[in-house]
């Protein structure tokens, strides 16, 4: 036992948590290279897609995931598990298309990065929802899935209205006042207003209502996880297939992203045109487009045809093609040795490192804003929120008003 009354293992855990709380937050990012995406026949393992390890999720969760991986490899499997993983991979990969538009801003020049806060928060929530499901926390999984849907719709809403108004005014208003538009309003701007996108909008609205019935509010016994799980944290044969709902909601979200970013369907070799100093976002590589196609399966042709009608996509492709190809030596000359070390090879090492770096920077900057923090005086008295007398005074004050 230590002087604090804790055993060595407990003290070590406490020391680690205190050390992490006092230290800087860290962000990790990864980019997996596929040398020949055309030969990418099967998705990676679920944990690899989520960027997690078996140790970090726990033994029982790992076993449940391994069970699904094994079931998915059987000949009689219907392919749903692989389809789920393709969709997760596509959601993770599509971040490479995110641009940094320079628009009118009143509060912060960093809003060109803050714009993507909702996506990175939604990716975190999606992973959390999945982990809750595999840990037998089914009600929690559904509730967080609803949050994932909300953040995804808000991401598309603020991206579209910012471009439409050439201003970050509405985004800044949200960060300042913490009030977002109604879900009806957000849905109207989340996807384009044309006949192709109307079914997508209807489906998003359907999932909003369905998740409200089963997760966002008090729900009917039909939706109770106690119908197939005896207690929180207990996995069951019915419950472990929770991811089918996740797969359906994720598909609707992907559709909305695909109609908003048509360049996802037109892979480009921006490295050959700009070296390692190319534009942030706008273009994606063959790997990203391949997984987008995989995630759509039979619907790929319809979305590709829709993307082909985009004047913005045509303009971007023409602008890219107007730049001459660089030689390997010219590309290598754009490498920043001081920041990134020696360049071993342009591809795959250099390219993978550059892409992972851009993802990490965008992720970090999306949440870095001191003006969001609530200012407070450390010496000020903290009201006793647990005191009945305190709430009695609050009641008296509110009724007098």
**pLDDT of 335:** 94
pLDDT at 91: 98
Q: What is the pLDDT of residue 107?
A: 64
CA distance 354 to 279: 12
Cis omega (within 30 of 0) on the bond before 348? yes
Q: What tokens does 186 get?
A: 């957000």
pLDDT at 387: 83
At 32 the pLDDT is: 84
Closest of 184, 224, 218, 223 to residue 204, by C-alpha: 184
Percent of the chain residues past pLDDT 70, beyond the cut: 88
Q: For 131-172, what is each residue's pLDDT tens digit?
A: 999 998 988 999 999 999 999 999 999 999 999 999 989 998
Q: Report CA-CA distances (Å) from 108 to 43, 104, 120, 151, 171.
A: 40, 10, 19, 21, 11
Contact 214, 223 (CB under 8 A): yes
State the average pLDDT for the chain. 87
Place of tokens 């016994």: 221
Residues 6+ away with beta carbon under 8 Å from 174: 158, 180
Q: Which residues of the chain have a pLDDT value below 50? A: 380
Residue 37 and residue 288: Cα distance in Å, rounded?
Answer: 9
Residue 185 neighbours by CB under 8 Å, 6+ apart: 157
* Alpha helices in 94-197, H assignment, sequence order: 111-114, 117-134, 138-165, 169-177, 183-190
- Say what the pLDDT of residue 269 is: 94
């Amino acid at each position: 036992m230590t002087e604090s009354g804790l055993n060595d293992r407990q003290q070590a855990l406490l020391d680690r948590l205190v050390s992490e709380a006092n230290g800087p937050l860290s962000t990790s990012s990864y980019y997996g290279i596929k040398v020949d995406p055309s030969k990418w026949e099967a998705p990676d393992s679920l944990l690899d897609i989520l960027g997690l390890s078996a140790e970090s999720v726990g033994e029982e969760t790992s076993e449940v995931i391994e069970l699904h991986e094994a079931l998915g490899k059987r000949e009689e499997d219907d392919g749903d598990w692989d389809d789920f993983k393709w969709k997760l991979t596509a959601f993770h990969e599509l971040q490479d298309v995110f641009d940094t538009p320079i628009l009118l801003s009143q509060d912060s020049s960093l809003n060109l990065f803050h714009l993507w806060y909702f996506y990175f928060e939604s990716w975190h929530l999606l992973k959390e929802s999945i982990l809750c499901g595999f840990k037998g926390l089914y009600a929690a999984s559904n509730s967080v899935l609803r949050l994932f849907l909300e953040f995804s719709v808000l991401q598309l809403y603020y991206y579209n209205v910012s471009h439409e108004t050439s201003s970050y005014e509405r985004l800044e208003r949200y960060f300042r006042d913490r009030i977002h538009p109604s879900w009806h309003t957000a849905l109207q701007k989340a996807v384009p207003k044309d006949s192709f996108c109307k079914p997508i909008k209807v489906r998003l609205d359907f999932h909003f209502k369905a998740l409200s019935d089963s997760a966002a509010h008090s729900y009917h016994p039909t939706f109770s996880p106690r119908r197939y799980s005896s207690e929180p944290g207990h996995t069951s044969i019915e419950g472990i297939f929770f991811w089918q709902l996740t797969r359906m909601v994720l598909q609707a979200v992907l559709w909305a992203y695909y109609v908003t970013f048509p360049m996802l369907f037109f892979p480009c070799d921006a490295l050959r045109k700009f070296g390692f100093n190319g534009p942030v976002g706008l273009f994606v590589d063959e790997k990203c487009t391949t997984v987008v196609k995989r995630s759509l399966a039979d619907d790929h042709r319809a979305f590709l045809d829709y993307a082909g009608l985009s004047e913005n996509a045509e303009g971007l492709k023409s602008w890219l093609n107007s730049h001459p190809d660089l030689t390997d030596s010219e590309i290598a000359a754009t490498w920043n040795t001081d920041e990134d070390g020696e360049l071993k090879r342009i591809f795959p090492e250099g390219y993978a490192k550059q892409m992972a770096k851009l993802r990490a920077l965008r992720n970090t900057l999306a949440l870095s804003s001191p003006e969001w923090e609530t200012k407070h005086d450390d010496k000020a008295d903290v009201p006793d929120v647990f005191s009945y007398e305190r709430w009695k005074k609050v009641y008296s004050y509110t009724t007098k008003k």
